[in-house]
Structure 1
């Protein structure tokens, strides 16, 4: 089976009366438009998206009257950063930007993939954080950039 488009997302479609199969992906794989995956029931699927769109947690790859195949993102090892002031937010955002590290935001929290050097920096700056395994909704996208 070759999947060329996303049918919907589990957050928006009621699939409770259908047999559910999951494709477990690392967050890094969400940016790949072409890949071969296997469901948790052993079914091989090719993904070849026609649109240049990142995959998201809960995206439905296939759905008929009885069956659904959807993406579930595996948990990432993350640093969950909780600055207590705009100054702390500015300091850590500047430092992470200098390292070209992608970040995501959920409410008042900044999420970055675990890096021991970033953890040391957070300790030096006295910025509250915790290390946590969490599922992110979208890929950490690295933005191509070079200093010239």
Structure 2
């Protein structure tokens, strides 16, 4: 089976099928328009999205009256950063920007993928953080940039 479009997302879709299969993806895989995956029931499917959109947690790839196939994002190993002042936020944002590390922001927290060097930097700057496994809503986007 080849999936060429997303039907909807379980968060906003009213119809349900009695049986659900899941495709577990790393957050990095959400940006791939073409990929081959296997459901948690061992069914192999191809994804070749025609429109230029990223997959999201809960996207419905297939549905009929008996079955639906849903995207589930695996948890990422993250540093959850909680600066206590605008000074700390500026310092860590500047440092992470110099490293071209992508970040996401959620409920007053800065999320970055785990990196031991960033963890050492956070300790050095005394910026509150914790390391945890968490699902992210979208892929971390690496922004290409060159210093000439």
Structure 2 length as normaliser, TM-score?
A: 0.96
SS at match of 1:132: strand
Aligned pairs for 1:126-137 within 5 A? 126-137=126-137
Aligned pairs for 1:39-118 within 5 A? 39-118=39-118
Whether the 8 Å CA contact 1:7–1:61 is kept in 2: the answer is yes
Whether the 8 Å CA contact 1:27–1:138 is kept in 2: the answer is yes
Give structure 2 stretches of 5+ with no counterpart: none
Q: Does 1:22 align with 2:22?
A: yes
Q: Does 1:146 align with 2:126?
A: no
Whether the 8 Å CA contact 1:102–1:140 is kept in 2: the answer is yes
Return the alpha-carbon distance in structure 2 between the equivalents of residues 121 and 10 of structure 1: 39
17 and 31 in structure 1: CA distance in 2 versus 1, 3 angstrom threshold: closer
C-alpha displacement at 1:112, in angstroms?
Answer: 0.3
C-alpha displacement at 1:17, in angstroms?
Answer: 4.8
Aligned Cα RMSD in Å?
Answer: 1.1
Whether the 8 Å CA contact 2:17–2:64 is kept in 1: the answer is no
Whether the 8 Å CA contact 2:61–2:71 is kept in 1: the answer is yes
What is the match of residue 35 of structure 2?
Answer: 35
Q: Which runs of 4+ in 1 moved over 6 A?
A: none
C-alpha displacement at 1:16, in angstroms?
Answer: 5.0
C-alpha displacement at 1:65, in angstroms?
Answer: 2.0
Whether the 8 Å CA contact 2:20–2:69 is kept in 1: the answer is yes
What is the match of residue 12 of structure 1?
Answer: 12
SS at match of 2:141: coil
What is the match of residue 123 of structure 1?
Answer: 123
